[in-house]
């Protein structure tokens, strides 16, 4: 049994940071911070913090909402968020204290 955090980031398929797709970029810095498991959930639609509906369609996936979820211990969380503060990718996130493990 371990204690740590569930980190969930919310963004759109079309977002980019530092020349990369935001999902790929976030996965890479998470790995560099010591987080090796990342789950990306594609949503069919959602209302952004701007109050606008975002959704995927048959013709256009760029506006598709995404959740990027990862589990982290304290050390990896600190490394990740130190890097995010420097990079400033403008991502909305939630952080929830959790207990995790494998049985």
Report, as an integer, the average pLDDT of 10-17.
89
pLDDT of residue 54: 57
The CATH number that applies at residue 45 is 3.30.70.120
Reported as a single tens digit per residue, the pLDDT across 18-69 is 899 999 999 999 999 999 999 999 876 666 666 765 565 545 555 678 999 9
pLDDT of residue 59: 53
Report, as an integer, the average pLDDT of 82-96.
95
The parent domain of residue 40 ranges over: 2-100
Count of structural domains, the chain: 1
Q: On the CB side of 42, how many CA atoms lie within 13 Å of its CA?
A: 10
Q: Cα(103)–Cα(101) distance, rounded to whole angstroms?
A: 7
């Amino acid at each position: 049994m371990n204690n740590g955090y569930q980190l969930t980031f919310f963004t759109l398929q079309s977002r980019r940071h530092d020349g990369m797709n935001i999902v790929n970029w976030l996965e890479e810095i998470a790995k560099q911070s010591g987080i090796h498991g990342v789950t990306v959930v594609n949503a069919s639609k959602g209302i952004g913090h701007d109050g606008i509906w975002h959704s995927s369609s048959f013709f256009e996936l760029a506006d598709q909402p995404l959740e990027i979820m990862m589990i982290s211990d304290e050390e990896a969380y600190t490394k990740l968020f130190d890097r995010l503060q420097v990079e400033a990718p403008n991502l909305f996130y939630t952080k929830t204290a959790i207990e995790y493990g494998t049985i």
